[in-house]
Chains A and B, each alone.
Chain A
Amino acid sequence: MSDQTQTDRARPEPIKAVPVRHPGRWLAIAVLAVLTAMFLHLILTNDQFRWSFIFNSYEPGKRGVMFTEPVLEGLRGTLLLTVTSMAIGVVFGVVIAIMRLSDNWILRGVAFVYTWFFRAVPRLVLAVLFGNLNILWDRIGFGLPFDQQIGKLFGIDDLNAQFYSVKASDLLAGFVAGMLALGLSEAAYMAEIVRAGIQSIDPGQAEAATALGLSRSQVLRRVVLPQAMRVIVPPTGNEVIAMVKDTSLVAFVPVTFELFFQLNAIKARTFVVLPVLVAAVIWYLIICTVLMVAQYFVERHFGRGYGTAGQARQRLRNIQAEQGSSSTAGGVT
């Protein structure tokens, strides 16, 4: 009876209603449009930008300030420093995060003290400190620790049980000092990010993997970390971008092999201030744009299996299509 009434009833007209108006939105858009026009007008008409100084030639016979040799050299230095110090940061960060989650209170304590120290001291101070740390030692090397003290214990003066050593002022200066300052500081932040990522994973995951007979390290590498990556990647992208900019701090180590230092040098030499700064802004914008694109792909990779990722939706569609064809062919559910 009820079925009949339903089929008999005609489908009503689709709703044609007057949409709600949003005058506030339109006002905001108008204001933004005016501001954008003003900005473009400023960039295009104000001579002080000296675009040809930036792009074409800053001195007779030389390229624009963005593409001149020392600046490109500095760009390479900035990129190299970002990559190496982030590598140190990620590797040490994962190790410290795992120590922080250990059952052993000594390992937990050491990890805590590490994060406490390197988060407390500003990077600028660390950079200067690492640049001057070589006063503490003559030589730095690998070998038996406390070799001189042990030697004295057995009556040998000046026992040297170092396999390999270099002068401290050669090793711990310039680029290496800057890299260590940034990398070790980064490790403290990465450790917190990785710890948050690991703790965000349902303990049932590790339990299920353990019950299957996976070892502790396999549970971590195969099950927990790949899932934690979904939580770890976005803040790590932030960290990389912050690191690109923080590399300018190593000018205080001092390291000259760095983008902003090189641009500053040109500024000091030519007394042209604004265009040089604009060139720096453009380079940092370019680097960060590339990094953001890279982050998008990394996030997509680690988002597999989760409904929110476009890739997963695509897979679902494929499966549904497949199912549709197989169920019409074989009638299997």
Chain B
Amino acid sequence: MTVEMVRADNVHKSFGSLEVLKGVDLVVNAGEVCCVLGPSGSGKSTFLRCVNHLEKINAGKIFVDGDLVGYHERGGKLHEMKGKDVARQRRSIGMVFQRFNLFPHMTSLQNVMEAPCRVKKESKAEVRERAASLLERVGLGSKIDAYPGMLSGGQQQRVAIARALAMRPKLMLFDEPTSALDPELVGEVLDVMKDLARDGMTMVVVTHEIGFAREVGDQVVFMDGGVVVEKGSPAEILANPKHERTQAFLSKVL
């Protein structure tokens, strides 16, 4: 039986008078890798930020693993969640940012240990061991005491992935994880992500890496103008897109 990890129903989001999402529908099953493509300003990053409630949506519903994100539903009425409850939901959703956003005053190891120690209050020794092995897994076993400022972009992004994994998330969100990297560093980050996908992690990846989408994606979604224009398997979407906007976009990036 397939479990729906993410379900978005008719999601709308505006910033002031600017409507960024105009009714997005999407389902990502557990264990699936969903790659979201689209031109700048198409709303793909905003949508990703709505999934863990970094942005409040104005209409529609988002469910993660069956739970409504950001609201309690009681007697047909929506109640805004308290900060504490939103934080609890976010624990199981890892997020990786375009600009890494590592904490510069902490070493790699401290970055990875911070959330399990402070949020889940796990024992320090246990977390330290797990954090070290996570850093080992992303190929940075020798950098556990380095501060982010001493690491290359690719290394920083791999620490950021390890930091998100330390909370044992059931869903990982990637917001253009390789867009701020030098071309020669992109590969090392994509390798870590491929490795994660092979392990069965559910991932939603906003990316411009068409090659990654083709190789790893189970589902490719093309967004433009705040709506999902087309979605399907990578073979369908990337090889013979039906919609002309998809065709136009792919002809530019391929």
- Residues of chain B having any CB pair with chain A under 8 Å: 52, 54, 83-84, 87-88, 90-91, 93-95, 97, 99, 101-107, 114-115, 118-119, 142-143, 145-150, 160, 163-164, 167
Contacts and interface: CB of A to CB of B under 8 A. Distances in A.
Interface of A: 202, 204-205, 207-216, 218, 222-223, 226-227, 302, 304-307, 312, 315-316, 319, 322-323, 326, 332
B142 A212 contact: no
21 contacts: A205-B101, A209-B103, A209-B114, A211-B52, A211-B94, A212-B91, A212-B119, A212-B167, A213-B88, A214-B114, A215-B84, A215-B87, A216-B83, A218-B119, A227-B105, A304-B147, A305-B107, A305-B149, A306-B104, A315-B147, A323-B142
B104 A227 contact: yes
A2 B87 CA distance: 61
Nearest to B105: A305
Contacts of B163: 212
A15 B144 CA distance: 43
B115 A213 contact: yes
A269 B170 CA distance: 80
A20 B141 CA distance: 50
Contacts of A218: 118-119
B118 A222 contact: yes
B141 to A, nearest CB: 8
A215 B89 CA distance: 12
B90 A304 contact: no
B87 A213 contact: yes
Given A213-B119, A312-B149, A315-B145, A205 B87 contact: no
Contact of B54 (A205, A207, A319): A207
A306 B146 contact: no
Given A315-B145, A316-B150, A322-B142, A211 B95 contact: yes
Given A202-B99, A218-B118, A305-B106, 7 more contacts: A205-B103, A209-B103, A214-B119, A215-B119, A305-B105, A305-B149, A315-B150
A213 B90 contact: yes
Contacts of A315: 145-147, 150
A222 B106 CA distance: 10
Contacts of A215: 83-84, 87, 119
A226 B103 CA distance: 10
A307 B90 CA distance: 32
Given A207-B101, A227-B105, A212 B164 contact: yes
- Of B104, B107, B143, most buried by chain A (CB within 10 Å of CB) is B104
A196 B148 CA distance: 24
Given A214-B118, A316-B150, A226 B105 contact: yes
A312 B149 CA distance: 9
Nearest to B101: A208
Given A213-B90, A213-B119, A215-B83, A223 B167 contact: no
Contacts of A211: 52, 54, 90, 93-95
A214 B115 CA distance: 7
Sorted nearest first, the 4 A-B pairs with minimum C-beta distance are A208-B101, A213-B91, A212-B115, A305-B147
B147 A312 contact: yes
- Of B83, B99, B146, B148, most buried by chain A (CB within 10 Å of CB) is B146
Given A222-B114, A227-B105, A305-B106, A204 B97 contact: yes
Nearest to B92: A213
Contacts of A312: 147, 149-150
Contacts of A306: 104, 147, 149
A305 B109 CA distance: 13
A315 to B, nearest CB: 7
B54 A213 contact: no
Contacts of B84: 215
B171 to A, nearest CB: 12
B148 A305 contact: yes
Given A212-B163, A215-B84, A332 B105 contact: no
Contacts of A223: 103
Nearest to A224: B103
Contacts of B106: 305
B191 to A, nearest CB: 14
B119 to A, nearest CB: 5
B163 to A, nearest CB: 7
B120 to A, nearest CB: 8
A209 B106 CA distance: 13
B80 to A, nearest CB: 13
A214 B101 CA distance: 15
Given A212-B119, A212-B163, A332 B147 contact: no
- Of B54, B93, B142, B145, most buried by chain A (CB within 10 Å of CB) is B142
Nearest to A303: B105
Nearest to A327: B142
Contacts of B87: 210, 213-215
Contacts of B83: 215-216
A197 B114 CA distance: 22
Nearest to A318: B145
